[in-house]
Amino acid sequence: MVILDAFADADTRRTGHAVNVGLHHGIGIDGRRMLAALAQVSAGRNATVLVGSGFERSPQWLDRMARHGRLCANDSAVVRALKDPDIAMELLQAQGWTVPETQRTVPSVRAGWLQKRVGGAGGIHVRRAAGRKHAAHHYYQREVEGIALSITFLADGERAHVLGCNRLLSVAIGTLPWCHAGIVSGVSLPGGLRATLQDRLDRLVRVTGLRGLNGLDFLLVGDDAVALEVNPRPTASFELYDADYEEGLVHWHIASFAGPLREFVARTERSAARALRVVYADRDMAISESAVWPAWCRDQPVAGTTIAAGAPVLTVAATGGTPDAALDELDRRIESIRRQIVQYAVRDTVVALGATP
């Protein structure tokens, strides 16, 4: 297995042959590096290409990647439509979802509105519109108060197999108020809302033809869900459910592109909640050669990696009998890992790579 990744972290390299295709300056995928590496590794092979995040802004990359093998990803036209705020909100509303007021033009009164970037991910593109200049490829959405949640599902073109509902964690970094900070599984929904969401997701899958692992972010407002966006690709949350399936969810993700998943049965009862949290650097640093990370750390930085203040260092995982218990364990591990980061960080480093998101 060959992994083309924006970071090519240490644990990623242990999983397979990892190739770094990240931007030289900033956080993200370098399209040219990625396509060149894909052409090289797929040459002469009957390759299966699995696509993760990072392509919402440039869905045309999916068409280019399809030239190098069997592409396990949603059609670029579907991705483009679901990331178009006008089309996406109208589509979701037609399937029964409540959606926030959304528009391309600048609101006459910006208070109470958010400015977002088309195809943005990870929350780093979301800011309050008041006091901000209008920029190309941005749109505006009425701010709604609610509990930030997501639903993780496996689609097969006919229905959505719901894996679970998650609480979304965010953190303010500099001037960015809602950076993605983590996820917790095991969230219970009130009354018959889960059945309602199942019906809405099934309708969405039938209309769009979605396949594979996907996610939908929403706000819980009272007993209703206000849909924010569809993520038509594997989201970070699927890792929270992977251990529940003997074959692993990547197996079922690939299978979904061959046809309906008649044999897949989503688990509805679990003995534990799982949580992930991203740890961000509070200053510029370089990771020393002596760094050894606990097994419950994901995205482990390679020794010698330079990390800018505000950029992600690694991800911490934890479990618990309930979401709150998982969060408590996560907090304990975060405290421990922050001490290790200080220990492993080389001081007085000039950071040449990476940037504040």
Residue 312: other Cβ atoms inside 10 A = 21
* Mean pLDDT in residue range 263-288: 91
Percentage of the chain beyond pLDDT 90 is 64
| Structural domain boundaries in the chain | 2-78, 79-256, 273-346
- Model confidence pLDDT, tens digit, residues 125-171: 899 999 898 988 999 999 999 999 999 999 999 999 999 999 999 99
**CA distances from residue 99 to 86, 90, 255, 271, 293 in whole angstroms, order as listed:** 11, 9, 32, 33, 42
**Which of 34-48, 67-81, 166-180 has the weakest average pLDDT?**
34-48
Beta strands in 86-125 (DSSP E): 102-103, 113-117
Please indicate whether residue 190 or residue 8 has the higher confidence score (pLDDT).
190
On the CB side of 302, CA atoms within 13 Å amount to 13
Please determine, for residue 28, whether its predicted confidence score (pLDDT) is greater than 80. no
Quote the pTM value: 0.91
CATH number of 79-256: 3.30.470.20
* Mean pLDDT in residue range 111-133: 90
Element (H, E) at 298: strand 297-298
pLDDT for the residue numbered 20? 85
Please determine, for residue 315, whether its predicted confidence score (pLDDT) is greater than 50. yes
Please determine, for residue 349, whether its predicted confidence score (pLDDT) is greater than 70. no
Burial class from Cβ neighbours inside 10 Å (0-12, 13-18, 19+) for residue 22 reads: buried
- As given in the structure block, the two tokens for residue 158 are 């006919």
Please indicate whether residue 22 or residue 206 has the higher confidence score (pLDDT).
206
